[in-house]
Amino acid sequence: MAEQVINPDLNFVKDIIASGGESLKKCYQCSTCTVVCNVTPDSKPFPRKEMMYAQWGMKDKLINNPDVWLCHQCSDCTAQCPRGAKPGEVLGAVRKMTIEEYATPGFLAKMVGDSKYLLLLFALPILIFGAYALIQGHTSLGSIPRGSNGEIVYALFMPVFPYIDLTFGTVAFLAAVSFFFGIRKYWSAMGGGMSMDGNIVNSVTETVSEILSHRRFQKCNVTKERSTSHLLVFYAFAGLAITTTWAIVYLYGFHRESPYPQYDPMKILGNVSALALLLGITLVANNRLKNAEKAGKGSYFDWLFISVIYGIVITGLLSEILRLAGVAVLAYPVYFVHLVFIFFLFAYAPFSKMAHMVYRTTAMVFARHTQREG
Amino acid sequence: MSEQTSKQASRVLVIGGGFSGLTTAVDAAETGAEVIVIEKNPYLGGRVSQLNKYFPKLCPPICGLEINFRRVKTNPLITLYPMSEVESISGGPGDYNVTVKVNPRYVNENCVACNACAEACPAERPNAYNFGMDTTKAAYLPFNQAFPQRYVIDSAHCKGDCGKACREACKYNAIDLGMKPETKSFKVDSVVVATGWNPYDANKLDILGFGKVKNVITNMMMERLASPTGPTGGKIVRPSDGKPVNSIAFVQCAGSRDENHLAFCSYICCMASLKQTTYIREQNPESKVRIFYIDLRTPGKYEKFYAKIKEDANVAFTKGKVANIVQAEGSDDVLVEAEDMLTGDKVKVKFDMVVLATGMEPAGASQRISGVDYSTDGFALSNPGVFSTGCSKNPMDVAKSGQDATGAVMKAIQTGQRR
């Protein structure tokens, strides 16, 4: 056998342990995990080899590895692990570090992954929207203009143009650019020496179809219900994305100003999606708490993402209710917080767990394209 | 010298009449101590009596047991209580009071083991000695060389007129259906806990299919299958259809080294599987054996035994723990799934029969004796005056149990001499 030199990256090991993989060192390489895993390919299965790479600090083998994203953290491995080494949690930590590795700029990724920067991250949107309010002279409740019948109109508090759309347009554009660079780096890192002569369109189509149906997710045993809750969150986000696009069309295409009546089809879609998101994310959180003993309790990275989604959906629904009820003293602050949460989600998307959407899809396409998976 | 001999003999109570308990009793009594042996079963010899062969010499354990039985029989300082259980231990070193429940055997010392009662007995019972792989009459001799050589009536399976038939068949007036449980108490200087072990309940290993998948057996069942006194007279055939076994898998660490089951290494299972490999290889020269393991633990001189088995081209070793066992479609064969770590691929292999190398659960895990301290895993702990030995203390093989018991004897008689 050819000689192989392993250069362990001990800081990488420490980082995995700090990112929710604290049980890593308990693994004694029995490979129960790979056998009970229903989503791994049979050839060179995960997560046993990943546990070894992680223990040995073989960063390259993990960071350039599409397998860590083929894992859907069913936690069948964690439940059956004879040592409590929690492979599912370790791979979760590796995924977080993959995002940190490829996201640009890197310092922002480190900040999103570390609880000590949480307040700082929130401070940015608070300052931005606070400044907007001051610029418009909203120093007291009475100074905020009302609609013609005295009703609350958020567009008069924070005009869609320029404040909302320029801010979020810029943030979304920057996030997209960051994602683009991250994914380009990731794809070429994974692709070193791989033969890729298949049809990329087919690989993408098959991957998208798998994601839309959550087929892979449904193979989980211990946390079977997760596929339903994730599906709900997924389609709720899709519904909200359509709602947003629709609103843009109303405003710039038809010059119709918000608020829109409750019976407007766009409004109905938005409300239904918001309720689906609330239900979905509640199921996600419940499943995590319920399965904590068998599947592990999740990391800061996971819970930050869940909390931000909760923040968005609750402040969003409350903004609408308080506006309709005319409770101005609560409506404006809640709407302000809602904007802060949305900013958080968009601006930090390439660095937070939100990025799993992009990296996982890329890895799944890559796995198909390189015949890692058929 | 005169002061030494004027001391009273040490009084030692031994809980358990398996290999460790017997060794304790014989060694203590042969130094002059008075020994009481409390045994739960109707026979002595415990788990060792169920083994087909010892490793590494591959001789039948009944030889060694018989020597100890004879030493027990001829030593007046040893008093045996089979079918008995300790209810509580109170007091301290040099002055213990032990309460013992003696269960009725329904057969007295007149018994000559003529088998007439069994022939007449209308009822049957599952044979626990053979792990339920066959049945005996409800009036039975536990096994052919059982000591004491006396029949037992299983009252749970001999109801109504069943007992009467046995009594009428006995020419020696040996059957006494009126026997009642008795409680006895003993004053002793020290206690030795030698309650041994039980095979870990394979039904709890849900992913390994035991009880659901045909032809998945445990290593202790394999001992009985291979034993000339076992349910098949020593022919290793598979339970579901009696087919000769041409391919067999051993699944190591079935429940051991697993915090969901037995958190510790059971020590003997690697050697047991290597030993059982010789059973099948000797019976069937065409047979193929595959051993799935995490690490093979064959310490010290046992390494030689392992090396010898490895030379056999029909024995394969696969590094990777089995974590899925299902029935092969349309047959009684068994499909075993593992990752072969040396190639890094998942393998699914079909076998005629699969042996789960289940580990040792200390008796204290399921039944604790009031007055004895236990670890969280159920191992009995030693205290001044109460000494734990053999597999009730730690998983160990027969040779080590013998040595350990002799050590416990030293402590026990010392306690008596210090009072």
d(CA A36, CA A75) in angstroms, rounded, equals 10
Mean pLDDT of B317-341: 97
pLDDT tens per residue across span A180-206: 999 999 999 998 666 666 788 999 999
My answer on whether A336 and A192 are in the same domain is: yes
Which ranges of B82-152 does DSSP label H, i.e. alpha helix? 116-120
pLDDT tens per residue across span B352-385: 999 999 999 999 999 999 999 999 999 999 999 9
My answer on whether A95 and A115 are in the same domain is: no
CB-CB under 8 Å, B341 with A44: no
Pairing of strands B139-140, B152-153: antiparallel
CB-CB under 8 Å, B322 with A30: no
- pLDDT category, B60, cuts 50, 70, 90? very high
Inform me whether the pLDDT recorded for A316 exceeds 50: yes
Amino acid at site B63: C
Number of domains in chain A: 2
Chain centroid to CA B229: 15
Helices and strands (DSSP H and E) totals, chain B: 9, 22
Chain B contact for A38 (CB, 8 A cutoff): no
Which residue segments constitute the domains of chain B, with CATH numbers given? 9-100+181-197+361-418 (3.50.50.60), 116-169 (no CATH), 201-358 (3.50.50.60)
What integer pLDDT is reported at residue B1 of this predicted model? Answer: 42
Residues 78-137 of A with CB under 8 A from B: 80, 82-84
Tokens for B66, please give them. Answer: 């018989």
Inform me whether the pLDDT recorded for B6 exceeds 60: no
Mean pLDDT of A117-133: 97
What integer pLDDT is reported at residue A195 of this predicted model? Answer: 66
For residue A118, CA distances in Å to A70, A112, A113 come to 29, 7, 9
- pLDDT category, A15, cuts 50, 70, 90? very high
What integer pLDDT is reported at residue A258 of this predicted model? Answer: 84
Of B259, B321, B344, Cβ closest to residue A84: B259
Q: A130 lies in a domain?
A: yes
Q: What is the dihedral of CA A189, A194, A199, A203, to 10 degrees?
A: -60
Last residue within a domain, chosen from A102, A132, A159: A102
Residues of A in contact with B258 (CB under 8 A): 82-83
My answer on whether A185 and A81 are in the same domain is: no
Residue in chain A lying closest to B342 (CA):
A44
Q: What is the ipTM of this complex?
A: 0.89
What integer pLDDT is reported at residue B2 of this predicted model? Answer: 44
Residues of B in contact with A30 (CB under 8 A): 253, 257, 294, 320-321
CB-CB under 8 Å, A82 with B259: yes
Chain B contact for A294 (CB, 8 A cutoff): no
Query: B17: buried, middle or exposed (CB in 10 Å: 19+, 13-18, 0-12)?
Result: buried
Name the DSSP class of B11. E
d(CA B19, CA B28) in angstroms, rounded, equals 14
My answer on whether A151 and A230 are in the same domain is: yes
d(CA A31, CA A94) in angstroms, rounded, equals 19
What integer pLDDT is reported at residue B254 of this predicted model? Answer: 97
A19: CATH: 1.10.1060.10
- pLDDT category, B418, cuts 50, 70, 90? confident
Of B258, B261, B320, Cβ closest to residue A31: B320
My answer on whether A244 and A96 are in the same domain is: no
pLDDT tens per residue across span B64-114: 899 999 999 999 999 999 999 999 999 999 999 999 999 999 999 999 999
Q: A266 lies in a domain?
A: yes
My answer on whether A112 and A98 are in the same domain is: no
Q: A374 lies in a domain?
A: no
My answer on whether A287 and A308 are in the same domain is: yes
The whole domain housing A359 covers: 106-369
Residues of B in contact with A31 (CB under 8 A): 320-321, 323, 338-339, 341
Residue A75 falls in which region: left (phi positive, over 0), alpha (psi -120 to 50) or beta? left
- Are the beta carbons of B270 and B298 closer than 8 angstroms? yes
